Amino acid sequence: MNKSLKIVFFGTPEFATGVLKELHNSSHEVVAVVTAPDKPAGRGRKINESDVKKYAVEHEIPVLQPKNLKADSFLNELASYKADLQVIVAFRMLPEAVWNMPPLGTFNLHASLLPQYRGAAPINWVIINQESKTGVTTFFIDDKIDTGAIIANKETTILPDENVGSLYNRLMIMGAELCLETVHTIAAGNVTTSVQQESDHLRAAPKLNNENTLIDFNEPANKVDALIRGLYPYPVAKAVIQDKEEKTVKIHKVKIINKKHQMLPGSFVIENGTLTIACKENMIEVEEMQLPNKKRMKVKDLLNGYTFDQDARFGEA
Q: Whose CA is closest to 251, among 208, 289, 225, 297?
A: 289
Residue 78, SS3 per DSSP = helix
Spatial separation of the C-alpha atoms in residues 161 and 170, rounded to whole Å: 14
Q: Is 115 annotated as a binding residue?
A: yes
CA distances from 166 to 67, 169, 285 (A): 33, 5, 21
Spatial separation of the C-alpha atoms in residues 290 and 280, rounded to whole Å: 23
- Is the bond preceding residue 102 a cis peptide, omega within 30 degrees? no
Sheet with 85-89, strands from edge to edge, namely 63-64, 29-34, 6-11, 85-89, 106-110, 133-140, 150-157
Residue 115 is which amino acid? P
**Calculated CA dihedral for residues 67, 70, 74, 75, nearest 10 degrees:** 160
Written as one string, the DSSP assignment of 196-258 is PPP-TT--B-PPP-TTTTB--TTS-HHHHHHHHHTTTTTT-EEEEEEESEEEEEEEEEEEEE-
Q: Is 64 annotated as a binding residue?
A: no
Q: Is 69 annotated as a binding residue?
A: no
Residue 124, SS3 per DSSP = helix
- Is the bond preceding residue 40 a cis peptide, omega within 30 degrees? no
Residue 72, SS3 per DSSP = helix
Q: Is 40 annotated as a binding residue?
A: no
Contact predicate 150/193, CB 8 Å: yes
For the annotated binding site, the residues are 112-115
Residue ranges at the known binding site for (6S)-5,6,7,8-tetrahydrofolate: 112-115
